[in-house]
Structure 1
Amino acid sequence: MAGGYNDRDGKIWMDGELVDWRGANVHLLTHAMHYASSVFEGERAYGGTIFKSRAHSERLLGSGVAIDMPIPWTVDEIEAAKQEVLAVNGLTDAYVRAIAWRGAGEDMGVSSSRNPVRLAIAAWEWGAYYGDAKMKGAKLDIAKWKRPSPETAPSHAKAAGLYMICTMSKHAAEAKGCSDAMMFDYRGYVAEATGANIFFVKGGEVHTPKPDCFLNGLTRQTVIGLLNERQIKVHERHIMPEELEGFEQCWLTGTAAEVTPVGQIGDYNFEVGSLARDMVQTYEKLVRG
């Protein structure tokens, strides 16, 4: 599939109907465009099966509730729609994007309770999120923006508005020749990358930030489970910036990122070591199993 994301062949599911890709449009006064009243999920299908599909659909509905935007479709209806999208587009290995938003309606101020909640699902072929980083390790910048306190934003929701500072941070990182940026949280602890959770290795044990102000990713949870199965100690805790110097290995996790080793964060270097490589391979076997 080539061309801009607005100019492709295929079908997109919108509000219960399959529409032509190029015709999957919304009105200029759609509330979400002005006020970020939108939640979404990113999912990957392997061999025609979406990994943790139902968990993604359940989280989508939960995110809608979290931003006071109940989504009027059930998990079963969303599951059926995703399969329909894969089938009609002839896709087996694909990225799947489900998105719900406040559409155009009677309200065009901050309030949007009278506007309809809409839902769309698209799918397309998408390779490695960080290119060849799975072999040599991704290079990360350190973002100037921080993940906000859960008292200021619903950090447990996968809400579009929470990604604004991620976009700015990734743009700044790419301008420096980096793949992504690592972010601190509002307290100064290590948090995550712009769209992926982060893990570190020291002395054969794994350390990962406690997700108390950012998304506890489904891939993150899966990888922790894989480590537990290997009886590798996992410390979920607050990590201070000065600890980065002492870590030996590092990797990112996310639906798009899958498991991607990190070779550098700012001035800190990491080995693409055996545990990082093992997690890449083990996760790949799991999702394709």
Structure 2
Amino acid sequence: MAAYDDRDGKIWMDGKLVDWRDAKVHILTHAMHYASSVFEGERAYGGKIFLSRKHSERLIRSGEMIDMTIPWTVDQIEEAKYEVLKANGLTDAYVRAVAFRGAGEDMGVSSARNPIRLAVAAWEWGSYYGDAKFKGAKLDISKWKRPSPETIPTAAKASGLYMICTISKHAAEAKGCSDALFFDYRGYVAEATGANVFFVKDGEVHTPLPDAILNGLTRQTVIGMLKDRGIAVHERHIMPEEMEGFEQCFLTGSAAEVTPVGEIGPYTFEVGTLTREISDAYEKLVRS
């Protein structure tokens, strides 16, 4: 694949489509210096973006949480996303909407006078974890911790929260792993760098309480699917040592979809029936 700044196609920026290579910002864009940016990652299946409106609504909420009122409505964001798909001739694609503080009169921590900008891009993107989606991903355990909600707005899908994700994923890949698992500031199991985590034991499912992590839209969808099947789901604090007793593990996310996990640090898991069934059911749901 070509570099992400050197492709054919169109990107929507601030209300209009521009050529892919011309979708540029100034070096003094506030978001580049101070992480004043929020985003959404979504997937389109057969020309329909799964949970599209919920993603657009969350984008606006995330902006509000970092004191950044996005000057576009949910309906306008929805229209932009589908305009991008059409302009690029895409039906199955990854869709990225990003809102950020641009360059303006302010160039310091304060940026109230700078314009808030919005861009939407889309491209073809296969399985986020490659063949791990079928045989089970291998995860490292990050040395970094997910922060307290008292230190940063952890419920926002904001770029600043992903700095330790990049560091941790690089470290994991250097060890031959697909990703890394975080514990939170209290020592509880939290999430992967871009996906929520679930465990299976004795036919029941356990997943971290989202009180210091993003309550992913795919996470919420999968919990609903499990409950519809009569499977008990326990949203709770999980201690790291509990992983030794879990039989199966899987990750969920818009990019990750439902991906089984085979290893987390010293802990191993089978790619079991329940994980496979939920993965297959999710595939059917998003394409229905």
Both proteins in one fold, TM over 0.5:
yes
2:242 corresponding residue in structure 1: 243
Deviation for aligned residue 1:133 = 1.1
Deviation for aligned residue 1:263 = 0.2
1:12 corresponding residue in structure 2: 11
Query: What CA distance in whole angstroms lies between the structure 2 residues aligned with 1:273 and 1:133?
Result: 14
Query: What CA distance in whole angstroms lies between the structure 2 residues aligned with 1:107 and 1:134?
Result: 45
Moved over 4 A (4+): none
1:286 corresponding residue in structure 2: 285
2:204 corresponding residue in structure 1: 205
Query: What CA distance in whole angstroms lies between the structure 2 residues aligned with 1:88 and 1:169?
Result: 36
Q: 1:11-90 counterparts in 2 under 5 A? A: 11-90=10-89
1:177 corresponding residue in structure 2: 176
Q: Residue deviations 1:229-256, cap 9 Å, x none? A: 0000000000001100000000000000
Query: What CA distance in whole angstroms lies between the structure 2 residues aligned with 1:225 and 1:232?
Result: 10
Query: What CA distance in whole angstroms lies between the structure 1 residues aligned with 2:65 and 2:213?
Result: 14
Q: Secondary structure at the match of 1:156?
A: coil
TM normalised by structure 2 equals 1.00
Pairing 1:273–2:259 present = no
Q: Secondary structure at the match of 2:271?
A: coil
2:225 corresponding residue in structure 1: 226
2:126 corresponding residue in structure 1: 127
The one-letter code of the counterpart of 1:239 is I
Query: What CA distance in whole angstroms lies between the structure 2 residues aligned with 1:62 and 1:215?
Result: 13
**Which ranges of structure 1 fall in alignment gaps of 5 or more residues?**
none
The one-letter code of the counterpart of 2:221 is T
Q: Secondary structure at the match of 2:243?
A: helix
Q: Residue deviations 1:27-76, cap 9 Å, x none? A: 00000000000000000000000000000000000000000000000000
Deviation for aligned residue 1:135 = 1.5
Q: Secondary structure at the match of 1:28?
A: coil
The one-letter code of the counterpart of 1:42 is G
The one-letter code of the counterpart of 1:87 is K
Deviation for aligned residue 1:159 = 0.2
Deviation for aligned residue 1:7 = 0.2
Pairing 1:94–2:93 present = yes
Query: What CA distance in whole angstroms lies between the structure 2 residues aligned with 1:135 and 1:207?
Result: 21
**Which ranges of structure 2 fall in alignment gaps of 5 or more residues?**
none
Query: What CA distance in whole angstroms lies between the structure 1 residues aligned with 2:278 and 2:137?
Result: 15
Residue-pair matches, total? 288
Query: What CA distance in whole angstroms lies between the structure 2 residues aligned with 1:35 and 1:71?
Result: 17
Deviation for aligned residue 1:134 = 1.9
Deviation for aligned residue 1:215 = 0.3
Aligned CA-pair RMSD: 0.3
The one-letter code of the counterpart of 2:144 is W
Query: What CA distance in whole angstroms lies between the structure 2 residues aligned with 1:67 and 1:24?
Result: 24
Query: What CA distance in whole angstroms lies between the structure 2 residues aligned with 1:268 and 1:240?
Result: 13
1:161 corresponding residue in structure 2: 160
The one-letter code of the counterpart of 2:45 is Y
Query: What CA distance in whole angstroms lies between the structure 1 residues aligned with 2:235 and 2:220?
Result: 11
